[in-house]
Structure 1
């Protein structure tokens, strides 16, 4: 029930001794707690004052990080908004009409047709047949001769030289004996360069004071006068073309030092070895070697010549030995004396044999005559008895 205004206040009951002590204990405890709280707050304020700079820096870093995060979030929203706008626009694109689809399908055909027209116009134009040809690497063959040997016609398109490159190179190799290898290189737009390497001259043949070079491939080229010859050259005096080709093939394989030391090569006219060659060297020595063994034996000459004290003859016909012209002359003279004495003895023996044979024939004839006479007498006696 609600209190009435005029009701007198109730009297508080009197506290016991224990309750009083309990109240005092609680008040003291509350006071102690308040003092501890004040002390802790004071300590906290002191610590905060010590670490205030670090806290300020930390707060600033947190603020800057928050600002960067806000910026990133804004940029992400913008980019996301753009992407969403693009996707919306794509979705909002109108479908292509039949005319647009037809144009798209006809585009490849149109491009191919345009390309074909351009190629046709290019082929009709004079530019497609322009060809600028240069030559490099030639020392003995003429530049114009090599260009003509390509057999390139004015009506040939320049890309024909690119497509059939080897055909034109073969024309040069067949037509010009000097050429050992050839290469035809294309340079944009219409330039071609013919690079050649040439065969070496191995030796010369001489006839009526005119010299004809022989290349390492065995082919002969135009004759030259003696004034056009190099300082050191090889003269071949052989009649058979087969022997010349065999000799050229061997000389081409020799060391250049050995080849330059050879002056002339001719047949030795040996009765025992038909292909024996006589080689006169630039240093004054003479070498005899069979043509069939020249490639194997002649390289030993470089080792032998250093041991020779005078102009010598190096005989490689059977084995290898050295002698001099004087020794060979003495040997040939003594052999001729022996041959003449042997011939005289043989003639005397033949005369004695002939005399003996004539006496024997006379004796046989006499005996035959006596036998015939005896036979005739016997026959006459038998006829008389009858």
Structure 2
């Protein structure tokens, strides 16, 4: 071996001591960091910061914020990290009004619930109360009121089931312009057609139709009435084809009598 490559043991000892000291210091720093982290965690979980302090609700219109919070199962004072968000979402989505839900935590101790509700399509008239009918065909029976919004059709003689679901699907495919022109839709089944309905329009016309072809026929309503005398009201039949029959008036009957005398 060359003399320049030989290192004496006396020269190596200080370096070994320095390396050992550095390793010991690193271990000490790691142990102290773990210790203080544990102390901080214990302090956090024992303090009010780890408890739910506020709950915010976004997107609820049919449901009150209180109803959403109650259904979620989250309450103030619960441990922030002890809440199963997936289970909370499942609870919320069981409500007939809620289409989807999202639950998130905002540090240090707030929860945010965002819900997307099913759209209201119409109101169901029952007795003296009106109940919202949603796009999924559900009737919200605990949300009855004595008034109805003017931009929503009023349904009469309907009940939850296949017929109502079909009616809702047909309404969903119509533009707002036509939906807003409908005052009332009455379910009036016949022996030959269990899907027969009668509509009362805001412009004074009456429409008879069958639910199965309702949207396909009703989409032409603006074009149909544009060809009619607005002062002469009557029934527009959309069941098979499309034809108009004016209401019988006193003047019409008088004219018929004069014709008979001649």
Q: Same fold (TM over 0.5)?
A: yes
1:147 pairs, out of 69, 81, 98, with 69
SS at match of 1:287: strand
CA distance in 1, matches of 2:114, 2:159: 35
> 2:227 matched to 1:301?
no
Structure 1 residue aligned with 2:182: 262
Instruction: Report the alpha carbon displacement of residue 113 of structure 1 after superposing the two structures with TM.
Output: 4.7
1:134 pairs, out of 56, 65, 90, with 56
SS at match of 2:94: helix
Q: Which has the higher helix share?
A: 1
Instruction: Report the alpha carbon displacement of residue 278 of structure 1 after superposing the two structures with TM.
Output: 1.4
Q: Give runs of aligned pairs for residues 1-386 of structure 1, distance below 5 A.
A: 94-97=14-17, 98=20, 100-105=22-27, 107-153=29-75, 156-161=78-83, 164-175=84-95, 177-221=96-140, 222-226=142-146, 228-242=147-161, 243-309=163-229, 310-326=232-248
Structure 1 residue aligned with 2:7: none
Say if 2:69 and 2:75, in contact at 8 Å, map to a contact too.
Answer: no
Size of the aligned set, in residue pairs, is: 234
Change (3 A) 1:215 1:182: same
SS at match of 1:205: strand
Computed over aligned residues only, the root mean square deviation of the Cα atoms, in angstroms, reads 3.1
Q: What are structure 2's unaligned runs of at least 5 residues?
A: 1-10, 253-262
SS at match of 2:60: coil
CA distance in 2, matches of 1:236, 1:110: 71
Instruction: Report the alpha carbon displacement of residue 209 of structure 1 after superposing the two structures with TM.
Output: 1.8
Q: Which has the higher strand share?
A: 2
Instruction: Report the alpha carbon displacement of residue 114 of structure 1 after superposing the two structures with TM.
Output: 4.0
- Taking structure 1 as the reference length, the TM-score comes to 0.52
- Taking structure 2 as the reference length, the TM-score comes to 0.74
Change (3 A) 1:236 1:101: closer
CA distance in 1, matches of 2:170, 2:72: 32
Change (3 A) 1:210 1:153: closer
Higher relative contact order (CA 8 A, sep 6+): 2
Change (3 A) 1:284 1:93: farther
Instruction: Report the alpha carbon displacement of residue 151 of structure 1 after superposing the two structures with TM.
Output: 0.5
CA distance in 2, matches of 1:95, 1:235: 91
Say if 2:52 and 2:77, in contact at 8 Å, map to a contact too.
Answer: no
SS at match of 1:148: helix
Instruction: Report the alpha carbon displacement of residue 265 of structure 1 after superposing the two structures with TM.
Output: 1.7
Change (3 A) 1:127 1:314: same
Structure number with greater Rg is: 1
User: Residues 137-171 of structure 1: CA distance to partner in whole angstroms, max 9, x if unpaired?
Assistant: 3334222222222101556421345xx43432332
CA distance in 1, matches of 2:213, 2:13: 93
CA distance in 2, matches of 1:143, 1:153: 13
Change (3 A) 1:241 1:152: closer
Q: What are structure 1's unaligned runs of at least 5 residues?
A: 1-90, 331-386
SS at match of 1:241: coil
User: Residues 188-209 of structure 1: CA distance to partner in whole angstroms, max 9, x if unpaired?
Assistant: 3222332334333322222332
